[in-house]
Amino acid sequence: MIMEIYKEHILDLYKNPQNKKILNNFTSEFSKNNLICGDTIQVQLLIQKEKIKDIGFSGDGCAISQASASLLTDKIKNMSIKQIKNLTKEDVLELLKIPISYARLNCALLPLDAIKGALENAGN
């Protein structure tokens, strides 16, 4: 029963994602593609005083990649760059709260890879 609630939450985030927007004012951006399944994520960051003040993402993909992007972008708002760089696969999986198969792991981690790429582009 509890697992069904989490699965419904993932589907809801897929249909109604948080932070799926284009920022007019951003300091860095990065796009990442999952060549295996075709998912794409573009992330835009507004970095001020070594923290994420705003974040937006766009792209297309499966429910896992889009829900992961929604959850992760919410989590990192107001986090320091150092904290974000230390986020791991386990942190993402904990946010999703559902079992992720090996085949879907790249989908779940795509947003984290895009965020870390945007940080590198910003020189952080």
Q: Which domain holds residue 102?
A: 2-121
Full pLDDT tens readout for the chain, 124 residues: 455 766 888 989 999 999 999 999 999 999 999 988 899 999 999 999 999 999 999 999 999 999 999 999 999 999 999 999 999 999 999 999 999 998 899 999 999 999 999 999 987 7
Angle at 8 between CA 103 and CA 99, to 5 degrees: 30
Number of domains observed in the structure of the chain: 1
Q: Find the CATH number of the domain harbouring 115.
A: 3.90.1010.10
Is residue 19 within 8 A of residue 70, CB to CB? The reply is yes
